[in-house]
Chain A
Amino acid sequence: NAGVTQTPKFQVLKTGQSMTLQCAQDMNHEYMSWYRQDPGMGLRLIHYSVGAGITDQGEVPNGYNVSRSTTEDFPLRLLSAAPSQTSVYFCASSYRLDIRGGNTIYFGEGSWLTVV
């Protein structure tokens, strides 16, 4: 299993440009999500999905768009990049309950985004 795979790992954007961060998981997890991590702010939920065709907003959704057409993929789109979106982005996934009966979340390696 590859787990949760994110691309690209690094990206520099100009203000106003759009781009898509890709996320795929091969664990057949129902739940997928995107977080951003900023110094002193911890992990903040941007959007999440509890299954194909279902998405919902998290804590900081403005400026981002998501879709979930398949169980495996959950891309995050930046519509018009702003310097405030400079951050590290993590995709994560989870079963409703994992095989040990718990509720845990697994992260990708991160995407470092700089908006200039």
Chain B
Amino acid sequence: QKEVEQDPGPLSVPEGAIVSLNCTYSNSAFQYFMWYRQYSRKGPELLMYTYSSGNKEDGRFTAQVDKSSKYISLFIRDSQPSDSATYLCAMSGGDSWGKFQFGAGTQVVVTP
């Protein structure tokens, strides 16, 4: 079983809808939680990160972490065609500093 599970999609939504992405994990030592966006033929770029549990909002993006359930989420409000990309979750922490664990990525397609 992988330490981080993420549904690969694809997830297709109409423009303006809310995109909901999530990951589950098994290692309770993880403390840092990140979301990356990856466009085709590009490197992953950091979207958001949170430390420990709670919510964080940045513009149209909201990240949530529920450490008790080992579950993290990313919400994209008012989705745009430019949001079409693969979204990867990542996490690290505890005594595994530097050893980031990534989800396989969810492909999102926002249709005009």
B44 at the interface (CB under 8 A from A): yes
Give B59 Cβ to nearest chain A Cβ, in Å.
17
Cα(A110)–Cα(B34), bound, Å = 19
By size class, the interface of chain B is 20 to 34
- Against A, the Cβ 8 Å flags (1 = close, 0 = not) of B83-97 are 000001010110001
Cα distance A109–B103 in the bound complex, in angstroms: 19
Neighbouring A residues of B90 by C-beta, 8 Å: 105
Kindly identify, within residues 1 to 57 of chain B, every residue whose CB is under 8 Å from any CB belonging to chain A: 6, 8, 31-32, 34, 36, 41-46, 49, 51
Q: Which residue on A lies nearest to B102, using beta carbons?
A: A43
> How many A-B pairs with Cβ below 8 Å?
60
Question: In the bound complex, do residue B98 and residue A104 qualify as a contact, i.e. CB atoms below 8 Å apart?
Answer: no
Is A104 a contact of B97 with CB atoms below 8 Å? no
Can you list 23 A-B contacts (CB < 8 A)? A31-B98, A40-B8, A40-B104, A42-B6, A42-B88, A42-B102, A43-B102, A45-B99, A45-B100, A50-B97, A58-B99, A90-B43, A96-B97, A96-B98, A102-B51, A103-B32, A103-B93, A105-B34, A105-B92, A105-B100, A107-B44, A107-B45, A109-B43
